[in-house]
């Protein structure tokens, strides 16, 4: 498969990469486009890297770096096309343009780095007090910040904690990240919306990742492991009143199970495994409880998987921060996982997606009709 099979607008093949800058397609630059890579991680911002070959024209200008569209802060959108259907991979802004002029003029290239809408919230250092006049919530704060930056808040908005006279002395995005961390929330920017809330474990699963499924196989490689040295619960100490000893509170994970059997000590024939939360940096018991809940939930997702998809065979863009089914890896490891990160790559080899998943339970909980192995001997 050549580059034109991936990037050309003339020959529409599955997993074609489509790019718009400032609302217009850059199809005239596709012949110079060598690679597109988009890294999406639910605990960080989505970033994209576009690599172009470049050459100097007779008038002394260069086809990429002198193109007015290839400039910092230009809006950009990257999509994957599967036949006539398109799905968004990311949108945001061009952050950096790097032109390289090596000794071999034929090796000149331009690397364009992009970031999702989080970069728009990272331009202005603000000093602002939230809840100074009346108590407010993290959800209200997130909505206000999103709206003043031209974003829509997704329906999954979390309320978070109640705050009074809370000082913001940072950019909007770093302040929101701190508030999300305080409640164990995620911030994900997608399609002009901002998700601020809990893991979306109960959302409808994405199209199933199929391993060893004959002609239905869409997964190139897959591996899974469990870290058995993760706690089943997390405890913290309540500040003692005068003359009373400090008491310890144990917090259990409260996430829905992504399987039939919890991956915890009791199912391994062991006693409950509890870690004590250090209270440094936590000003009160409310913060301590939230931190313990976050730690317990993170530890519960002890089953980790990684692999690589053939994007053309999968036929969709695998999204972070949503569930996905996995089948073909056995009764124990089949089932629903949560997508932690995806690296999308378009190049001469086609469209590949390297993924990392997690879950908190074992067992095949996929509907019978979703199994790709039906009828395969």
Predicted confidence (pLDDT) at residue 4 exceeds the cutoff of 60: no
Residue 9 confidence class, pLDDT cut points 50, 70, 90: very low
Residue 377's pLDDT is 37
> What CA–CA distance (Å, rounded) separates 83 from 251?
49
Instruction: Please state the pTM of the whole predicted model.
Output: 0.89
User: Please, which residues have CB within 8 angstroms of residue 252's CB and are 6 or more apart in sequence?
Assistant: 232, 233, 296
Residue 156 confidence class, pLDDT cut points 50, 70, 90: confident
Q: Which of these ranges, 76-80, 229-233, 362-366, 371-375, has the smallest mean pLDDT? A: 371-375
Residue 279's pLDDT is 66
Short-list 26, 27, 1, CA closest to 14:
1
> What CA–CA distance (Å, rounded) separates 360 from 375?
30
User: Please, which residues have CB within 8 angstroms of residue 295's CB and are 6 or more apart in sequence?
Assistant: 234, 275, 277
Residue 278's pLDDT is 75
Q: Which of these ranges, 288-297, 322-331, 368-377, has the smallest mean pLDDT? A: 368-377
Short-list 182, 193, 180, 292, CA closest to 236:
292
Residue 284's pLDDT is 73
Tell me the pLDDT tens digit for each residue of 176-201. 999 999 889 999 999 989 999 999 99
Residue 370, by phi and psi: left (phi above 0), alpha (psi -120 to 50) or beta?
Answer: alpha
> Mean of the pLDDT values across residues 1-26?
68
The three-state secondary structure class of 214 is helix
> What CA–CA distance (Å, rounded) separates 283 from 6?
54
Query: CA quadruple 53, 110, 315, 335: dihedral positive or negative?
Result: positive
Say if residues 335 and 360 touch (Cβ distance below 8 Å): no
Say how far residue 143 (Cα) sits from the centre of its chain. 20
Residue 369's pLDDT is 59
Mean pLDDT taken over the chain: 90
> Mean of the pLDDT values across residues 84-110?
95
Say if residues 178 and 121 touch (Cβ distance below 8 Å): no
Q: Beta strand 24-25 with 186-190: parallel, antiparallel or unpaired?
A: unpaired
Between 156 and 119, where is the model more confident?
A: 119
Instruction: Show the tokens assigned to 286.
Output: 């409310």
Residue 8's pLDDT is 42
For residue 227, give Cα distances in angstroms to 138, 187, 231, 258, 302.
33, 26, 10, 16, 6
Give percent of the chain with pLDDT exceeding 90: 76
> Mean of the pLDDT values across residues 271-288?
75
> What CA–CA distance (Å, rounded) separates 164 from 152?
25
Diameter over CA atoms, the chain: 86
Residue whose structure tokens are 């998987």: 305
């Amino acid at each position: 498969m050549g580059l034109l099979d991936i990037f050309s607008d003339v020959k529409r093949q599955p997993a074609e990469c489509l790019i718009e800058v400032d609302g217009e397609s850059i199809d005239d630059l596709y012949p110079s486009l060598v690679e597109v890579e988009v890294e999406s991680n639910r605990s960080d911002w989505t970033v994209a890297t576009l690599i172009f070959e470049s050459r100097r024209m007779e008038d002394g200008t260069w086809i990429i770096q002198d193109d007015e569209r290839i400039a910092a802060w230009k809006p950009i959108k990257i999509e994957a096309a599967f036949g006539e259907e398109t799905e968004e991979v990311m949108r945001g802004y061009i952050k950096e343009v790097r032109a390289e002029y090596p000794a071999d003029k034929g090796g000149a290239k331009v690397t364009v780095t992009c970031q999702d809408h989080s970069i728009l919230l990272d331009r202005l250092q603000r000093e602002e007090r939230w809840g100074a006049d009346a108590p407010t919530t993290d959800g209200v704060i997130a909505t206000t910040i999103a709206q003043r930056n031209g974003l829509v808040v997704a329906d999954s908005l979390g309320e978070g904690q109640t705050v009074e006279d809370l000082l913001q002395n940072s950019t909007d995005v770093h302040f929101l990240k701190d508030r999300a961390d305080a409640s164990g929330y995620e911030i994900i920017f997608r399609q002009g919306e901002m998700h601020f809330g809990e893991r979306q474990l109960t959302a409808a699963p994405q199209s199933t990742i199929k391993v060893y499924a004959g002609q239905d196989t869409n997964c190139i490689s897959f591996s899974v492991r469990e870290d058995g040295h993760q706690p089943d619960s997390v405890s913290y100490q309540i500040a003692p009143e005068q003359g009373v000893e400090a008491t310890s509170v144990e917090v259990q994970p409260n996430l829905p199970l992504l399987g039939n059997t919890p991956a915890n000590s009791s199912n391994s024939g062991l006693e409950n495994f509890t870690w004590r939360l250090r209270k440094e940096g936590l000003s009160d018991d409310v913060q301590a409880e939230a931190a313990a809940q976050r730690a317990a939930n993170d530890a519960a997702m002890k089953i980790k998987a990684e692999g690589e998809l053939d994007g053309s065979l999968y036929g969709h863009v695998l999204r972070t921060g949503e569930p996905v089914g996995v089948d073909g890896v056995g009764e124990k490891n089949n089932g629903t996982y949560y997508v932690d990160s995806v690296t999308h790559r378009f190049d001469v080899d086609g469209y590949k997606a390297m993924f990392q998943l997690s879950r908190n339970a074992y067992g095949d909980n996929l509907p019978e009709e979703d199994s790709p192995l039906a009828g395969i001997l």
